[in-house]
A and B are shown apart, each in its own frame.
Chain A
Amino acid sequence: GNSVTQMEGPVTLSEEAFLTINCTYTATGYPSLFWYVQYPGEGLQLLLKATKADDKGSNKGFEATYRKETTSFHLEKGSVQVSDSAVYFCALTSYNNNDMRFGAGTRLTVKP
C-alpha cells in the first residue's frame, strides 16, 4: 500500500539556517505529494504540493521537488525564521482519493 517515510525529529536550527526535511514514499501509480504544516493548537495547513514527476512546489520560501527516480519529496528552505517553528508533515494521495497517507511529522524549532 501507499506509505510515507519522513525524517525523524525534532530538528532545532538557528535563525537563517538552511533547512532540509527528508521524505520518501512508496506508492502504486502516480501519487500526488504534499507538505502540510501544523502550528501549535491548530489543524494542518497546506504548505505546497506537486502532482507529477519533476514538479516543484513552492510557497513562503519553502520548496520541494517530486523525484520519481528516488521516490522522494524533500522539503527545503534557504533561511528559516523563528515563525517557521511548527510540525511538518509529508503526505501523498492517489488520483481523486482522499485517503491521504501522512508521514510521522517532523517538529522544527528555530531559535533566534
Chain B
Amino acid sequence: KAGVTQTPRYLIKTRGQQVTLSCSPISGHRSVSWYQQTPGQGLQFLFEYFSETQRNKGNFPGRFSGRQFSNSRSEMNVSTLELGDSALYLCASSSPGQSHSGANVLTFGAGSRLTVL
C-alpha cells in the first residue's frame, strides 16, 4: 500500500511569511505526528493528531499549529517564519492498536524541507 506522502518536498520562504505543509497518512492510519529535524536540535516532536483532535503537543511556540481532516490527512502551519524554522519537517502515521503491546510503530514520510531566507 502507499506510504506516507508529504507535500511539498522542498520550499523556500522569507522571514515573516507563513507556510502550510501537507501529509497524507497510510490508508487506515488514524494517527498523524509531526517532527522537526535540524542539525542542531535533532528530531523534535511537534504534535500528534488522532481523529481530528490534537492528542499531544511538544514544546514549540504557538506559531506552529496543525489540524487533521476527517480523512486523516493532516496539515501543519508555521506563521511569521523565522530563520531558525529552516528544517526538515517529517510526518509519521500510525495505527493505534496495530501492535498488541501498544507500541505504536511510526511510519515516516520523506519530509518537507523548508528553507527560510
- List the A residue with the shortest CB-CB distance to B99: A51
Interface residues on B, range: 20 to 34
Q: Give chain A residues whose Cβ lies under 8 Å from the Cβ of B43.
A: 89, 102, 105
Q: Is the CB of A98 within 8 A of B103?
A: no
Pick from A34, A52, A102, A103: contact of B101, CB under 8 Å: A52
B110 touches A96 (CB 8 A): no
Q: Which of A45, A93, A101, A105 touches B108 (beta carbons < 8 Å)?
A: A45
B42 touches A98 (CB 8 A): no
Query: Which residues on B sit within 8 Å (CB–CB) of A44?
Result: 90, 92, 106, 108
Tell whether, in the assembled complex, residue A43 and residue B101 are in contact, meaning their CB atoms are under 8 Å apart: no
Q: Are A51 and B56 in contact (CB under 8 A)?
A: no
Question: Which residue in chain A gives the minimum CB-CB distance to B3?
Answer: A43
Secondary structure at chain A's binding surface: helix, strand, loop or mixed? loop
Q: Which residues of B contact A95 (CB under 8 A)?
A: 102-103
Kindly identify which residue among B48, B103, B109 contacts A99, using a CB–CB cutoff of 8 Å: B48
Map CB proximity to B onto A71-98 as digits: 1 under 8 Å, 0 otherwise: 0000000000000000001000101111
A38 to B: closest C-beta gap in Å: 9
Q: Specify which chain B residues have a CB less than 8 angstroms from the CB of A96 in the assembled complex.
A: 96, 102, 104
Query: Can you list, as one digit per residue, whether each of B93-107 has a CB less than 8 Å from chain A (1) or not (0)?
Result: 010100101111111
**Proximity string of chain B (36-49) to chain A, C-beta cutoff 8 Å, 1 when within and 0 when not:** 00000011010010
Residues of chain B within 8 A (CB-CB) of A104 are 42
**B58 neighbours in A (Cβ, 8 Å):** 99
| Nearest CB of B to A73, in Å | 13
Q: Does A100 contact B (CB under 8 A)?
A: yes
| Alpha-carbon separation in the docked complex, A103 to B44 (Å) | 10
Known A-B contacts A32-B103, A99-B58; A43 and B109 likewise in contact (beta carbons under 8 Å): yes
Report B's interface with A, CB cutoff 8 A. Answer: 4, 6, 31, 33, 35, 42-43, 45, 48, 55-56, 58, 90, 92, 94, 96, 99, 101-111
Return 5 A-B CB contacts under 8 Å, by A number: A41-B110, A42-B111, A98-B33, A98-B104, A101-B45
